[in-house]
Structure 1
Amino acid sequence: MQDLSADVVIVGSGPTGSAYARIIRRDWPEARILMLEAGPYLRAEKGAHLDNIADLEARTAAEIGAQGPTRSAYAPITEAEWNERRAGRFDGSLLRRQGLFLANEADPHDETLFAGFAAANVGGMGTKWTTGCPRPSQSERIPFIAAEQMDEALGLAEDLLKVNKDLHPNDPGASRLREQLGAMFNQGRAPDRQVQPMPLACTPTASGFLRHGIDVILGQMLEESEETFRILPDTGCRRIIHENGRATGVEIATPGSNDTRRVAAGTVIVAADSLHSPQLLYASGIRPAALGRTINDHYQVTKLIEVETDQPMQSMSWIPRVDDWPFSVTIGPTSANTMPFPADFKGQPVFIGLFCASDVDPGNRMEFDETRTDWLGLPTISIRARKTPGDLARLEEGKALVARITDALGRSAPGFETVVLPVGSSLHYQGTMRMGERNDGESVCDANSRVWGFENLYVAGNGIIPTVTATNPTLFSVALATIGARQIARERRQT
């Protein structure tokens, strides 16, 4: 078998890994880039979003194919579970979504339960995400990255993702709703933090819209020769090979196989997600004290309401996080036709989703078990996390806020109570490879996402975000990836 080598090896094919590839190509045109993905290609359009598949049977088959270690049919919600959800209680179907796994042995009703994610396919979460791309608030930004640099990076991320700031600009129903919400929340807010359309990485079409995947980020790179850019599907990374603070390559294998091979690399970027990137670092003997610590996830409060309107809304609205207000709220239309069991609606069904910031606690952490390996041959993951008193207080405040919004816009849908989703359900966990200003044992990487103590090893994804956030983090983590990518191109083109 021919030996592989590349100037840059990227482990993971999701939005941040793809952003690294695209910006390195822009700034270092001659770079040879190899991307590794543990899962398969699921579409002829490489890395395209699965929700754009019109045929529902074909979409379901693709979603099953993306489940990584457990490629089996999703067991749908039962009527009993649906009634539990309507009553605001635990609903077991939420833990059967494609790719989810329980990351500890807690009882499903225990507050320490954490749901992780292990799906794998070319495009990563870029094939499955909801495409929300709001900008972080001032307090969510990283204090040691200059505001001008961060603004530039966020703008570049919006260009890469092709973010649409207002998907349905002529939506009178949504305009009316935003006026109502604005009267409640806009006072004292800067213009960019007032109630507004949710920015989405989508393209409108005559019949709706298309969600953007990594095919949009990579663009013409997908047409390149394998000599310059190649994605290796069904290829797990077993470890990063390194010596004296320098990554020299990676060891790869087909999932389920013990036949490994080496890939020589000039630079390695680990972009396998917030759980599996720390797992790979640990398996490679790269174990800074902060690795896997301070795992942090938004808590989610959801509510289904009815809105009486003669102008049904089409688009999503957003109440942004501001510094003294630890919430980010999305409000948008839903359809009774998508509900698993009939429900009697007298108005338009509208969904409220509130993300609630949670405390950064070093005791909330990942643990790795080298005596057991997972489907990729890596140490198994478990997660220990508890809500702090501050978290519980904010959750109660968040539930009260959802009730206020409900009363202002309409009424609670009959039989539908407010629901707090299991921790981890947002799939937005952060902090596991946190970024730091200095190598003081409290972080894993520097402001350019380079792992402390290494010349040429970088990490990417939501896991590097060190701040307390409530805002959807994808745009933020893609922006940070562009900073790291430009650093790599600057250094490597000079050698």
Structure 2
Amino acid sequence: MSHTPHRVIVIGSGPTGAVYARRLLDRAEPVSVLMIEAGPALTEPLGMNVRNIADKEQQLAAKLASQGPASGRAGMAGIPTGGMEGTVTARQGTHLVGRAAEGSQGMPAAAAATCVGGQGAHWTCATPRPVGTERIPFLEEELDGLLDEAERLLHTTHEAFSGAVQATTLLGLVSEEFADDGLLVQPLPVAGDPRADGSMRWSGTDVVLGDLALPGAEGDRFELRAETLAVRLLLEEGRVVGVRLRDVATGTETEERADEVVVAADALRTPQLLWASGIRPAALGRYLTEHPLVFGVVAVKDGLLPPVGPETTTIDPVRVVVGIRFDEELHPFHAQLIYSPVCPVPLPPESPFAANPGGYVGMGWGVRKWPRAEDRLVFDDAEPDENLLPGIRIAYEVTDREQAELDHARVFQARTAAALGTFIDGMPVEMPPGSSLHYMGTVRMGAADDGTSVCDSYSRVWGVPGLVLAGNGLIPTANSCNPTLTSVALAVRGADALAERLAATDTQARTKEAR
């Protein structure tokens, strides 16, 4: 006798949601997946990194389309871009989310992308591994294997731009500066596929979805429903059994049933949806972390790096990505240096650093934000957001502990800058909270249901059958490295466990029928 396929709804089309769709369809039979995305499709294939769009106007249009209510008003996160002095705008391709809770500085630069592919359509593709205290202790025995699989899914390469003479020269200069400190300076692992001309095809959600991202891929087993907002999870007797959806264009609401629901919205909107649905564990929205950042742009001394050819005038001018690795004792931060022949931030024509012949190195040092229950999202049912979901308020403080690490990081940044050139006007800057776009901890994973976590080590929400979570919000550690690789690794573990549960349920049903 044939069986009705298990149905799974995945809310969110970023890299971790894509892991669930891909692995469930590959490993669980029979199963169908409905993927829900509030924003529009930007590219073919679906979820492609917009940095791969060669036409400048088309790339800009794709970015604007993912900016939600802030469309047309976004610039560089944390850097004022006109209008009222001191205002903070969202990075192009994203829109601001939430506002400060009463009595808190909040996260003025907190932002997100709303589009097919999520932030995976816009990310910088950095995929360093967590080190030391950044690693999740209760997954230690299997974490490296999961990270290996995450690297495979994201097409991580450790040899990006290895053929570029600028890369080897920059690596040598920075390595020489820190040789006596014992620091590991290396090409930064990034997600992408090197091209024959030395450039990169940057990874987006499309590389995880594989053939599911191609036109005509939808069928009986997979559907991606864009411009559709999840407004409530449906509960029956304490179990999640489906989702209430709203068509963004028409406002029409419908209900879809499922055997399991995976919420992979992001670290801000996943807990918002749970709160709106009446699922409110004690840790929901708490332990919010990110990466406090010190960022600067250096105008490189003329002649220090080999000149670049005319191909660097392409849409993506990045030519080198170098990292200084986290070390608990010697360098407790992650640093990234990106070389480009054009300045990564706008400069006025009269600036002495405009059109610098030696090019530019953008350098960021990210430090740990130590998890505190007080750093949290607060949901305001009385003042909903533009989607009529509970308003997001953010209570967040950079404590003396983080400030000390930022001050320590500035020492290494200043040494690096002096070895390469001169900071451009106004640099370096401590970026406003939220600028990293790496929000973690709000639906954190835990080893025990003790009130300090939202889900178990398989990403299942404690005490709520039928509900699985994914995304950066699961990461429970104080962590200074880019979180996507870790989040994809956690999604691999959760998706494979869910596939096994669905297969076991099907086996039980067949056994019962045979009797």
Q: Given the two structures, how large is their TM-score scaled by the length of structure 1? A: 0.90
Partner of residue 277 from structure 1, selected from 250, 256, 270: 270
Question: Could you give the per-residue CA deviations for residues 373-414 of structure 1, whole angstroms, max 9, x where no partner exists?
Answer: 22333111010111111111111112222112212x222235
TM-superposed deviation, 1:245: 3.7
Structure 1, 111-120 or 156-165: larger mean CA deviation: 111-120
Give 1:140's aligned residue.
134
Give 1:364's aligned residue.
375
Residues 1:377 and 2:388 aligned together: yes
AA paired with 2:483? P
SS of residue matched to 1:115? coil
Give 1:52's aligned residue.
52
Change in Cα spacing, 1:279 to 1:5, as seen in structure 2 (3 Å) is: farther
For residues 107 and 438 of structure 2, the distance between their equivalents in structure 1, rounded to whole angstroms, comes to: 16
For residues 178 and 282 of structure 2, the distance between their equivalents in structure 1, rounded to whole angstroms, comes to: 41
TM-superposed deviation, 1:168: 1.4
Partner of residue 241 from structure 1, selected from 234, 255, 258: 234
For residues 54 and 118 of structure 1, the distance between their equivalents in structure 2, rounded to whole angstroms, comes to: 24
Give 1:103's aligned residue.
98
Contact map agreement 1:5 1:264 (CA 8 A) in 2:
no
Change in Cα spacing, 1:187 to 1:464, as seen in structure 2 (3 Å) is: farther
TM-superposed deviation, 1:307: 3.0
Give 2:327's aligned residue.
322
Give 2:209's aligned residue.
218
Question: Could you give the per-residue CA deviations for residues 260-295 of structure 1, whole angstroms, max 9, x where no partner exists?
Answer: 211111111000000000000000110000000110
Contact map agreement 1:6 1:263 (CA 8 A) in 2:
no
TM-superposed deviation, 1:96: 6.3
In structure 2, list runs of 5 or more residues that go unmatched. Answer: 309-318, 506-515
Change in Cα spacing, 1:414 to 1:258, as seen in structure 2 (3 Å) is: closer
AA paired with 1:141? R
Q: How many residues matched?
A: 477
SS of residue matched to 2:320? coil
Contact map agreement 1:102 1:113 (CA 8 A) in 2:
no
Give 1:117's aligned residue.
111
SS of residue matched to 1:397? helix
Question: Could you give the per-residue CA deviations for residues 397-454 of structure 1, whole angstroms, max 9, x where no partner exists?
Answer: 12222112212x2222353421111110111010000111100000000111110012
TM-superposed deviation, 1:178: 2.2
For residues 399 and 83 of structure 1, the distance between their equivalents in structure 2, rounded to whole angstroms, comes to: 28
For residues 243 and 254 of structure 2, the distance between their equivalents in structure 1, rounded to whole angstroms, comes to: 8
For residues 75 and 486 of structure 1, the distance between their equivalents in structure 2, rounded to whole angstroms, comes to: 38
For residues 255 and 170 of structure 2, the distance between their equivalents in structure 1, rounded to whole angstroms, comes to: 56
Question: Could you give the per-residue CA deviations for residues 239-260 of structure 1, whole angstroms, max 9, x where no partner exists?
Answer: 1112334211111111375532
Partner of residue 404 from structure 1, selected from 407, 415, 418: 415
Question: Could you give the per-residue CA deviations for residues 132-156 of structure 1, whole angstroms, max 9, x where no partner exists?
Answer: 1111112111100133x11111111
Question: Could you give the per-residue CA deviations for residues 82-139 of structure 1, whole angstroms, max 9, x where no partner exists?
Answer: 799xxxxx864644644332632489xx954432224311111111111111111121
Change in Cα spacing, 1:368 to 1:414, as seen in structure 2 (3 Å) is: closer
Give 1:87's aligned residue.
none
Give 1:458's aligned residue.
468
For residues 442 and 300 of structure 2, the distance between their equivalents in structure 1, rounded to whole angstroms, comes to: 40
Contact map agreement 1:5 1:263 (CA 8 A) in 2:
no
AA paired with 1:196? Q
Give 2:435's aligned residue.
425
Give 1:66's aligned residue.
66
Structure 1, 216-225 or 437-446: larger mean CA deviation: 216-225
1:158-237 to 2 correspondence within 5 Å?
158-185=151-178, 194-207=184-197, 208-222=199-213, 223-237=216-230
TM-superposed deviation, 1:312: 4.7
Change in Cα spacing, 1:353 to 1:83, as seen in structure 2 (3 Å) is: farther
Give 1:335's aligned residue.
341
In structure 1, list runs of 5 or more residues that go unmatched. Answer: 85-89
TM-superposed deviation, 1:46: 1.2
Give 1:297's aligned residue.
290
Contact map agreement 1:256 1:375 (CA 8 A) in 2:
no
For residues 172 and 276 of structure 1, the distance between their equivalents in structure 2, rounded to whole angstroms, comes to: 43
AA paired with 2:171? R
1:452-491 to 2 correspondence within 5 Å?
452-491=462-501
For residues 280 and 253 of structure 2, the distance between their equivalents in structure 1, rounded to whole angstroms, comes to: 23
Structure 1, 290-299 or 308-317: larger mean CA deviation: 308-317
For residues 132 and 429 of structure 2, the distance between their equivalents in structure 1, rounded to whole angstroms, comes to: 29
For residues 203 and 378 of structure 2, the distance between their equivalents in structure 1, rounded to whole angstroms, comes to: 34
Give 1:128's aligned residue.
122
Change in Cα spacing, 1:83 to 1:456, as seen in structure 2 (3 Å) is: closer
TM-superposed deviation, 1:7: 1.4
For residues 156 and 287 of structure 1, the distance between their equivalents in structure 2, rounded to whole angstroms, comes to: 32
For residues 131 and 267 of structure 1, the distance between their equivalents in structure 2, rounded to whole angstroms, comes to: 30
AA paired with 2:130? P
For residues 140 and 410 of structure 2, the distance between their equivalents in structure 1, rounded to whole angstroms, comes to: 35
Change in Cα spacing, 1:50 to 1:425, as seen in structure 2 (3 Å) is: same
SS of residue matched to 1:139? helix
For residues 476 and 96 of structure 1, the distance between their equivalents in structure 2, rounded to whole angstroms, comes to: 23
Contact map agreement 1:47 1:122 (CA 8 A) in 2:
yes
Give 1:156's aligned residue.
149
For residues 465 and 440 of structure 2, the distance between their equivalents in structure 1, rounded to whole angstroms, comes to: 24
Question: Could you give the per-residue CA deviations for residues 16-35 of structure 1, whole angstroms, max 9, x where no partner exists?
Answer: 00011112222214310110
For residues 51 and 262 of structure 2, the distance between their equivalents in structure 1, rounded to whole angstroms, comes to: 28
For residues 83 and 416 of structure 1, the distance between their equivalents in structure 2, rounded to whole angstroms, comes to: 16
For residues 428 and 497 of structure 2, the distance between their equivalents in structure 1, rounded to whole angstroms, comes to: 45
Contact map agreement 1:186 1:195 (CA 8 A) in 2:
no
TM-superposed deviation, 1:199: 1.1
For residues 338 and 179 of structure 1, the distance between their equivalents in structure 2, rounded to whole angstroms, comes to: 22
Contact map agreement 2:472 2:483 (CA 8 A) in 1:
yes
Question: Could you give the per-residue CA deviations for residues 18-59 of structure 1, whole angstroms, max 9, x where no partner exists?
Answer: 011112222214310110000111223211111211111111
Residues 1:394 and 2:393 aligned together: no
Contact map agreement 2:22 2:209 (CA 8 A) in 1:
yes
AA paired with 2:73? Y
AA paired with 2:56? L
Give 1:354's aligned residue.
365
AA paired with 1:436? G
For residues 94 and 320 of structure 2, the distance between their equivalents in structure 1, rounded to whole angstroms, comes to: 28
Question: Could you give the per-residue CA deviations for residues 316-345 of structure 1, whole angstroms, max 9, x where no partner exists?
Answer: 100111223321000121233655323343
